[in-house]
Amino acid sequence: MKKIIYISFCFAVTYLSSAQEAQVTIEQDKKIEALLDLYRSALKTSDYYRIQVGFGSHAQAERIKANVEEDFPSLASKIDFDSPTYRVRVGKFKTKMEAERKFNEVRMKYPNAMLLKPKKSAN
């Protein structure tokens, strides 16, 4: 009987008690939003290193891409058309060191792989 009274008392206390409520207002300098916009646009236009693992017809490129996705699932792969061939390229590496590390790993499986440097911008 004591247990039932104790449990019902605990239930009543937790049911009838109310939690604190508050509203948080964040005031942020407008320059921060401008800096974030600048940062986002710089990321979109920034150059990066890529690894080309193969090229050929569209069917060959699809097969190579499927094999690369199986061998290296953590790398993003993409087929680019550069007339007259389709090229399979993987990764987006910000630094040359990061690209070279992954390139050495990829080249063990794909000996014809090439490390592509970012294009110089015309600005």
Write the pLDDT tens digit of every residue in 27-61.
888 888 888 888 888 766 667 899 999 999 999 99
Q: What ranges make up the beta strands (E) of 7-84?
A: 49-56, 77-82
CA atoms within 13 A on the CB side of 51: 29
What pLDDT was estimated at residue 17? 66
pLDDT tens-place string over residues 82-122: 888 999 999 988 888 999 999 999 999 999 999 998 765 44
Sheet hosting strand 114-116, strand order edge to edge: 77-82, 85-93, 49-56, 114-116
Q: Model confidence at 71, in pLDDT bands (50, 70, 90)? A: very high
